């Protein structure tokens, strides 16, 4: 029996990796926005007034980034389920044919 790299197990691993990359990217965006806010909090009152419109868009970006993190988490969880199911099925097939 030949087992190729295109099995469900590898699809599950690929999904895990993609989900982890999504979480990493969103976390990096959140961290960079937090650093930018810390810098702007030390600005003068006139600068703060001017930057409030930017701050609103950053809040929307924060929500989007949090959503990306949640999607990445679910993607990783589903990838784990696919990999586990594939591993269990492979063991059953090998036991059946052995």
Residue 3 placed within a domain? no
43 versus 13: the higher-pLDDT residue is: 13
Residue 2 placed within a domain? no
**What tens digit of pLDDT does each residue of 18-51 get?**
999 999 999 998 888 765 555 555 556 666 556 5
Closest to 73 in 3D by CA, of 16, 28, 11: 16
13 versus 33: the higher-pLDDT residue is: 13
The count of domains in the chain is: 1
Residue 80 placed within a domain? yes
- Which three-class secondary structure string do you get for 34-59? HHHHHHHCCCCHHHHHHHHHHHHHHH
Task: Name the residue range of residue 70's domain.
Answer: 8-97
**What tens digit of pLDDT does each residue of 48-77 get?**
556 555 555 556 678 888 999 999 999 999
Query: Quick one: how far is CA 47 from the chain centroid?
Result: 34
With a cut of 50, say whether residue 87 has pLDDT above it: yes
With a cut of 50, say whether residue 15 has pLDDT above it: yes
Residue 1 placed within a domain? no
């Amino acid at each position: 029996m030949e087992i190729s790299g295109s099995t469900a197990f590898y699809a599950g691993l690929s999904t895990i990796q993609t989900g982890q990359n999504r979480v990493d990217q969103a976390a990096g965006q959140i961290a960079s926005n937090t650093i930018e806010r810390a810098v702007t909090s030390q600005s003068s009152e006139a600068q703060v007034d001017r930057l409030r419109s930017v701050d609103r868009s950053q809040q929307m970006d924060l929500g989007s980034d949090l959503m990306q993190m949640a999607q990445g988490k679910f993607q990783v969880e589903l990838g784990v389920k696919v990999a586990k199911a594939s591993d269990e099925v492979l063991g059953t097939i090998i036991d059946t044919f052995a």
